Amino acid sequence: MTTDERFAPGRDVHLRIWLGGMVFDYAATAVAARNVIDDWSRKHWVTIELICDTIEEHLPLPRLPYERLFLGP
């Protein structure tokens, strides 16, 4: 699978957010993850990772809270 396929608009990605020393793992659409990262790039308020090829990708992850708010421009 290529990077373009992995982050295609209809696919889910594994988004890891570090906040105050705690780790939160979420599934999110590639579009929502991209918009979260774009927002983050304006002001680094947390640490964000996109996780690829880990055992966690086979585990069910909770959806990114309020994911639909990050689907728009």
**Tokens describing residue 53:** 């090829």
C-beta contacts of 27-31 below 8 A and 24+ residues apart: 27/60, 27/61, 27/62, 27/63, 27/64, 28/63, 28/64, 28/67, 28/70, 29/67, 29/71, 31/70, 31/71
Percentage of residues of the chain with pLDDT beyond 90:
16
pLDDT of residue 56: 53
For 62, the 3-state DSSP assignment is coil
Q: What is the pTM of this model?
A: 0.72
pLDDT of residue 53: 63
Would you write out the chain's pLDDT as a tens digit for each of its 73 residues? 554 555 566 678 889 999 888 999 999 988 898 888 888 888 877 788 887 766 555 667 899 998 898 887 6
Contact 46, 17 (CB under 8 A): yes
pLDDT digits (tens, 9 = 90+) for 36-52: 888 888 887 778 888 77
